[in-house]
Amino acid sequence: MAAGRIRVTVGVCGGIAAYKSVELVRLLQDAGYDPHVVMTKAAEEFVRPLTFAAISGHKVITTLWGEEAGTGSEDDGSGEHSSVEHIQAAQSTKLLIVAPATANMLAKFAHGLADDFLSTMFLATTAPVIVAPAMNVNMWEHAAVQANVATLRARGVRVIEPGSGYLACGMVGGGRLAEPATVAAAVAAALAEGLVAGGDLAGTTVLVTAGGTREPVDPVRFIGNRSSGRMGYAVAEAAKRRGARVILVSAPTGLACPVGVEMVQVVSADEMRRAVMERLKESTVVVMAAAVSDYRVKSVAAQKIKREATKALTLELEATEDILSEVAAARVKGTVVVGFAAETEDAVANGRGKLVRKGVDAVVVNDVSAEGIGFDSAENAGSFLTRDGEVEFPVMSKAAMADRILDEVIKLRG
């Protein structure tokens, strides 16, 4: 797994909702974590370990004892294949998420029983633990289950409340496993709070710009661009996860601010420029992923331009300031500055031109004319250009690309 990936363990118990954990593991993988899966015997009745092994890329732990331990397509070479495997797994994981957590497993956790891998690992780990219960509504509401949940809460275990709705048993009510996206967000939030001291970007302040700026034409219209902001938000999220203090200067997007990130919202190129320049001194890394408008309307109409009164309209545009060049020129020595170049032709040559012209340390180029990557898509591909080299990024999720960019930034910081 790539450097900087945080190892999390997903414990899967036996319940109809076990299939949702497949999606959870995929979401954690996409978000840049390194998920390892532990299954109970009963869970194997619902989903095959091979499914989790294929998605996580690691063997799946299914039993405490020798031979059978670790079922999957690949041994990850960690040497975890012994009766003390649970101790090694417990020590190397940064978080344990149990989803679905059955009434039986909650009882074992609450009372300290250790008769399978998951319950033994629970006792052996000092990492934060989150449980996402799923069961029949009467079971969930039973005083015994609620008492166990209260005990676990009192000991610091986080509980993701089950949702309401149709249950597999045909009843309607509480007890449904929370949606995988909700569980994945809880994992990210817990890690953002607890892990910042240990990441490979600890001690750095990363300033990220994201989104497409908007230049007003009149009070209701603007000139904008197709940037979704996803790439910049992914960089902000990854930098936070890896221990940095993160400032995200964002033009309008439909995205939620990543947990723990300081967000500064701006609209126009000029507002973005001011927000960035004000915070430049405190930043050790600047990643300019925003699609900044190159032009603004020279005289913005004070009132809405009326169609009846204006049969033909010519807008006079003037150039905006190039924020990236200004940042590169004004930076404190040692600050790493990375720009983006969205190109539709001769991507690498144009990117190299920008690298030199703007005086930055690196440029991430992508060919936005290619189908399925770049603007408004979940995936990206491109090249990371520096003065002395070039690293190719094949098609991957924007979250994965964010980590690759940060890996290269760390090398540049030396």
Catalytic residue numbers? 169
SS3 for 232?
A: helix
Name the nearest CA neighbour of 56 among 77, 30, 81.
30
User: Contact between 322 and ligand CTP (CB under 6 A)?
Assistant: yes
User: Contact between 31 and ligand CTP (CB under 6 A)?
Assistant: no
Annotate each residue in 363-402 with x if it binds ligand CTP (CB under 6 A) or - if it does not, as one string: ----------------------------------------
- Name, in order, each residue with C-beta under 8 angstroms of 262's C-beta and a sequence gap of 6 or more: 245, 246, 247, 248
DSSP assigned state of 45: G
Structure tokens at 411: 């090398």
> Exactly one of 132, 134, 285, 342 binds ligand CTP (CB under 6 A); which one?
342
- Give me the least distance between CB of 347 and ligand CTP, in Å please: 10
User: Contact between 207 and ligand CTP (CB under 6 A)?
Assistant: no
Contact region with ligand CTP (CB under 6 A), list: 21-29, 54-62, 286-294, 304-312: 286-294
User: Contact between 320 and ligand CTP (CB under 6 A)?
Assistant: yes
- Give me the least distance between CB of 325 and ligand CTP, in Å please: 7
| Gap between the terminal Cα atoms of the chain | 21
Annotate each residue in 289-318 with x if it binds ligand CTP (CB under 6 A) or - if it does not, as one string: -x-x-x------------------------
- Give me the least distance between CB of 300 and ligand CTP, in Å please: 18
d(CA 134, CA 182): 14
Structure tokens at 58: 């690691």
- The amino acid present at 18, given as its one-letter code, is A
For ligand CTP, the closer CB: 149 or 272: 272
- State which H helix or E strand residue 145 sits in: helix 143-154
For ligand CTP, the closer CB: 294 or 390: 294
Q: Where are the alpha helices (DSSP H) in 195-346?
A: 230-241, 269-279, 323-330
- Give me the least distance between CB of 355 and ligand CTP, in Å please: 10
